[in-house]
C-alpha cells in the first residue's frame, strides 16, 4: 500500500469515527447541530445541543437550559502512542475556543451555555469503534 493510499484510508476511517460519535451523541439525547464547521480561526468536528430540561422561567421563555457542546473527535487506531486526548494540546484548545466563539455569534438563536468535550475513539477488536466521551475536557 502506498503512502497516499494509507493517508486516504486513514481519512476515511477518521470520518467514520466522527459519524460514529455523532450517532453516539444522538443515542445519549443530544441534537447534532453541525459537523466539520470550518472558519479562519479553526475547525469544530461536532457541535451538539444537550437540553437539560425546561426553561429557566415561564417569564423568560427564550432562555432554555442546557449546553451547546463543542466536540473534538480524536481517533487513533490503537492507543500505542498514548491516549487520543493527549493529542489535544493547549494550542488546539485555543483554536477550538476561537471557532466556537464564532459559531456562537453566527448561531445566536441556538446558543446555550458552551461546553467543550473530547471523544476518544479507537478501533474495537473485531471491528467498529470504542468511544470514550469526556465531558468538560478543557477544564
Q: Could you tell me if 113 and 66 are in contact, meaning their C-beta atoms sit under 8 angstroms apart?
A: yes
Q: Which domains does the chain have, with CATH numbers?
A: 3-134 (3.40.1350.10)
| pLDDT tens-place values along the chain, 139 residues long | 798 888 888 889 889 999 999 999 999 999 999 999 999 889 999 999 998 765 544 444 455 679 999 999 999 887 777 888 888 999 999 999 999 999 999 999 888 999 999 999 999 999 899 999 999 999 8
Q: Could you tell me if 70 and 64 are in contact, meaning their C-beta atoms sit under 8 angstroms apart?
A: no
Task: Answer yes or no: pTM beyond 0.85.
Answer: yes
Q: Could you tell me if 119 and 24 are in contact, meaning their C-beta atoms sit under 8 angstroms apart?
A: yes
Helix ranges restricted to H, 28-89: none
Backbone phi and psi for residue 3, each to the nearest 5 degrees, phi listed first: -60, -40
**DSSP string across 16-37:** HHHHHHHHHHHHTT-EEEEEEE
Amino acid at each position: 500500500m502506498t503512502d497516499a493510499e494509507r493517508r486516504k484510508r486513514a481519512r476515511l476511517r477518521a470520518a467514520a469515527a466522527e459519524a460514529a460519535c455523532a450517532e453516539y451523541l444522538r443515542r445519549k439525547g443530544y441534537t447534532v447541530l453541525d459537523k466539520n464547521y470550518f472558519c479562519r480561526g479553526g475547525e469544530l468536528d461536532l457541535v451538539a445541543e444537550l437540553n437539560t430540561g425546561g426553561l429557566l422561567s415561564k417569564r423568560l421563555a427564550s432562555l432554555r437550559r442546557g449546553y451547546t457542546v463543542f466536540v473534538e473527535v480524536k481517533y487513533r487506531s490503537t492507543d500505542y502512542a498514548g491516549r487520543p486526548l493527549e493529542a489535544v494540546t493547549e494550542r488546539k484548545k485555543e483554536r477550538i475556543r476561537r471557532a466556537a466563539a464564532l459559531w456562537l455569534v453566527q448561531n445566536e438563536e441556538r446558543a446555550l451555555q458552551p461546553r467543550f468535550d473530547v471523544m476518544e475513539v479507537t478501533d474495537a477488536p473485531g471491528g467498529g469503534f470504542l468511544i470514550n466521551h469526556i465531558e468538560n475536557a478543557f477544564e
